[in-house]
């Protein structure tokens, strides 16, 4: 199985400051069709997860443009340009290139 | 998010069985692939099972193979997960989710399964 490793585990951030979450995969996520199926999800406290980003950098409808995804191969990053209070929660990466689908362990974003 | 409403979560003894259901609405269920994903208390997300839109392809995570069965009734817009030989480490919130073979784009609110004597 592809192992997804996120860092850091916990990310205290000052409101209005940027935040960055790393996600690394144990194998390349480049698919045979040429796409890279790396997704990012946000799970606010007490809520279900919500997809933010798919195929590395495509933002879902309704997701603020302060969220951006980047990366290639085995190394990916989710960036929040200016953290707001509503961004508190746990963020997960998930690869969809190889079966079984696998998630990273999560990064908890909290306000300092 | 599209409405996905899970039901069936309960407390069950180790070795017991339980069936979960997920009612889908506001989208064309018959053309969409579906997943089950679980989250143990205080833990991260774990993908459990997948079924293609037509029910012809099914995939499972290794830890549930032979014990869990995913199925769907496209005439009733309903997804199912039959869970047998349940173990304490199956205790989790189970989410029904819509997506494809490469992603998950919508999640239900989840239903709690507790395996305990």
pLDDT in tens, B49-74: 999 999 999 999 999 999 999 999 99
Q: Contacts of residue A96 in chain B, CB cutoff 8 Å?
A: 100-103
Q: What angle do CA A105, A53, A106 make, to 5 degrees?
A: 10
Burial class (CB in 10 A: 0-12, 13-18, 19+), A78: buried
Q: What mean pLDDT is reported for chain B?
A: 96
B102 vs A contacts (CB less than 8 Å): 31, 35, 37, 96-97
Collect the ranges in chain A with pLDDT lower than 70. none
Among the listed residues A88, A20, A78, the one whose alpha carbon sits nearest the alpha carbon of residue A52: A78
In B, which residues are within 8 Å of A50 by CB distance? 1, 107
The pair of structure tokens assigned to B17 is 């069985």
Q: Tell whether B36 lies on the interface with A, counting CB pairs under 8 A.
A: no
d(CA B77, nearest CA chain A) in Å? 21
Q: Which residue of A has its CA nearest to B2?
A: A50
Nearest by CB to B1, from A50, A99, A106: name it.
A50
B4-27 burial: b if 16+ Cβ within 10 Å, else e: bebebbeebeeeeebebbbbbeee
Average pLDDT per 10 consecutive residues for chain B, totaling 117 residues: 89 98 91 97 98 96 97 96 98 98 97 97
Beta-carbon separation of A39 and B44 below 8 A? no
Beta strands per DSSP E along B9-87: 11-12, 18-24, 33-39, 45-51, 58-60, 68-73, 78-83
d(CA A97, CA B114): 31
The predicted pLDDT at position B66 comes to: 97
Distance of alpha carbon A38 from alpha carbon A48, whole angstroms: 19
């Amino acid at each position: 199985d592809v192992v997804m490793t996120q860092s850091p585990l916990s990310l205290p951030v000052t409101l209005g400051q940027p935040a960055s979450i790393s996600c690394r995969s144990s194998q390349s996520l480049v698919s045979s069709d040429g796409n890279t199926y790396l997704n990012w999800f946000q799970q606010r406290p007490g809520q279900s997860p919500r997809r933010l980003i798919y195929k590395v950098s495509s933002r879902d409808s309704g997701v603020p443009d302060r969220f951006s995804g980047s990366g290639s191969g085995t190394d990916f990053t989710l960036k929040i340009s200016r953290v707001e209070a509503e961004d508190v929660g746990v963020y997960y990466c998930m690869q969809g290139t190889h079966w079984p689908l696998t998630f990273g362990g999560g990064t908890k974003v909290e306000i300092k | 998010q599209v409405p996905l409403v899970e039901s069936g979560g309960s407390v069950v003894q180790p070795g017991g069985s339980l069936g979960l259901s997920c009612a889908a609405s506001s989208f064309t269920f018959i053309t969409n692939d579906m997943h089950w994903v679980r989250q143990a208390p205080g833990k991260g997300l774990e993908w459990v099972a997948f079924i293609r839109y037509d029910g012809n392809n099914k995939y499972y995570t290794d830890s549930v193979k032979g014990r869990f069965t995913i199925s769907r009734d496209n005439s009733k817009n309903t997804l199912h997960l039959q869970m047998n030989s349940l173990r304490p480490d199956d205790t989790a919130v189970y989410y029904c989710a819509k997506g494809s073979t490469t992603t998950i784009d919508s999640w239900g609110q989840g239903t709690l399964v507790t395996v305990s004597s």
